[in-house]
Amino acid sequence: MTGRTGLLWDNPLIFSRLIEDCGGACESVNPNMLASPFWRGRFGALIIPTGFANPAYSNLLPALRAAEGRIRRFIENGGRLLVFGAGCCREDAYDWLPFPVTYAFGYGPRAVRFTREGPFNSLFSGYDLDAVECDGSFPSHGGETLAATPDGEALLIQKSLGDGMVLVTSIHEYPSREFLKEFSCGDRETLF
């Protein structure tokens, strides 16, 4: 099994330690590497943490936009991408994804209800599903809603593209260890 995950952020995060504790290898990918057309990496999965579009926390958004084509190819060729909440009031924060996603910022606990049984429900394992900290919702998107509030606010969406897939979530917590073990470890790596 391959367990190589790219964690996209400006500098190293403790999140990488959690990924490694779950059995995967984690490589930090900063905005300069991501935006460079000459840098190449091989990963089974990429993770973009909460707050990626908020300039008070990160300079990642311009690099994501610069790498839009490479991100699409990575996914279509079998890569898995997990994107958390943008962390600010920017409806266009996800315009670099290969499908439309509109984000509504709003921090606070939300009740989570699954639309169906599926392998990605484990993202929320161990959390009180009546009060999961989230930083917003996705009022419109071109994916499939996997989890939402009782009022229908999408909190976890999935989109399959080619041989890969994208998960977008507004959970403002680390994903569960169970989820990371499955998501971060796979049987192949894809060139980014």
Residue 88 near residue 48 (C-beta atoms within 8 A): no
Measured between its terminal Cα atoms, the distance across the chain in Å is 19
- Specify the 3-state DSSP secondary structure of 45: strand
pLDDT in tens, the chain (192 residues): 457 899 999 988 989 999 998 888 899 999 999 999 889 999 999 999 999 999 999 999 999 999 999 999 999 999 999 999 999 999 899 999 999 999 999 999 999 999 999 899 999 999 999 999 999 999 999 999 999 999 999 999 999 999 999 999 999 999 999 999 888 876 678 888
What is the spatial distance between Cα 88 and Cα 53, in angstroms, rounded to a whole number?
7
What is the spatial distance between Cα 146 and Cα 169, in angstroms, rounded to a whole number?
10
> What is 4-191's CATH superfamily?
Class I glutamine amidotransferase (GATase) domain (3.40.50.880)
pTM to 2 decimals? 0.95
Q: Which residue ranges make up each domain of the chain?
A: 4-191
Q: Which residues contact 70 (CB under 8 A, 6 or more apart)?
A: 192
At 151, list the tokens: 């009022």
